[in-house]
Amino acid sequence: MASDERQGIQSVEVAMEVLTALEEARRPVSLSTLANLSGLQPSKVHRYLVSLVRSGLAAQEKTTGLYTLGSAVRRLGIEALRRVDEAGIASQHAIELRDRTQHTVLLVTWSDAGPTLIRWDYGAYPLPISVRVGSVLPLIDSSAGRVCYAYLPQAITKPVLRAQEKRGEARAYTDEELTKIVNDVRSTQVCITAGAIIPGLSVVASPVFGPGDGLALVLGFALPSRELTAPVTRRLSDDLLKASRLITADLGGQVKDPPAEAGQA
């Protein structure tokens, strides 16, 4: 019984290889290109394409004869996106990350009010702060906020930043300072602040991307600043990048290659 369950249907797996090749091509492609991408013989790819086109999972352009993904794939993709629970998926990784590193892990999403804390899992290190889920963080004076500012459109972030400055919740930054913050975050995909909001508290944050390459969430560590030595910074930055990439993949986002060096304080 167990053996039968493991066997599966090989033809379905091969068809998925062809569909994956169509997806990875990012454009309509020829039969020979699909064969190269999938590692299958052209004759075999053609046989599968006939069935995939009939089912609507693939399509062949009438004018060029090139192959692309079909309407059925688009319908499946839309429904899959509708069912994605970003916070739920990320939370599973956040708990594992907390248990493995023993450091407090946080998740932040964007709301109309700004960067909003949606999960805070305490670790083994006492923190000089009591955090309430649902709290709105400063946009530039927090690591998670800076990640949001770096990857979200300014049409969304600028009004929140100006409102926080007006209320005295953030100091005023020059355009040059803001540009440097964006460039620093994007160059490493990691943002670190020490004592920016609470004295003695450091936060390391990294972006999580969803479908369409847009920012979905921010994943981060919170720890006492005294614990953030250079070796710890490198290790936690690497752990964070790996976890962020795993969550991005689970959400259907485009996984980016990790930077050569991360975690520069």
Domains (range + CATH), the chain:
6-82 (1.10.10.10), 85-251 (3.30.450.40)
pLDDT at residue 3 in the model? 45
pLDDT at residue 82 in the model? 61
pLDDT at residue 86 in the model? 85
pLDDT at residue 263 in the model? 39
Rounded to two decimals, what is the model's pTM?
A: 0.68
Tell me the DSSP string of 9-21.
-HHHHHHHHHHHH
pLDDT at residue 61 in the model? 92
Q: Which residues contact 58 (CB under 8 A, 6 or more apart)?
A: 18, 19, 22, 49, 52, 67, 68, 69, 70, 73
Q: What is the pLDDT along the chain (265 residues), one digit of tens a residue?
A: 444 455 678 889 999 999 989 988 888 999 999 999 999 999 999 999 999 999 999 999 999 999 999 989 878 876 665 665 788 889 999 999 999 999 999 999 998 889 999 899 999 998 877 778 888 899 999 999 999 999 999 999 999 999 898 888 888 889 999 999 999 999 999 999 998 778 889 999 999 999 877 999 999 999 999 999 999 999 999 999 999 999 999 988 888 765 544 433 3
pLDDT at residue 68 in the model? 93
Which residue, 163, 156, 195, 161, is CA-closest to 175? 161
Angstrom distances, CA of residue 110 to CA of 1, 138, 216:
47, 12, 8
Torsion angle of C-alpha atoms 108, 91, 249, 185, degrees rounded to 10 = 30
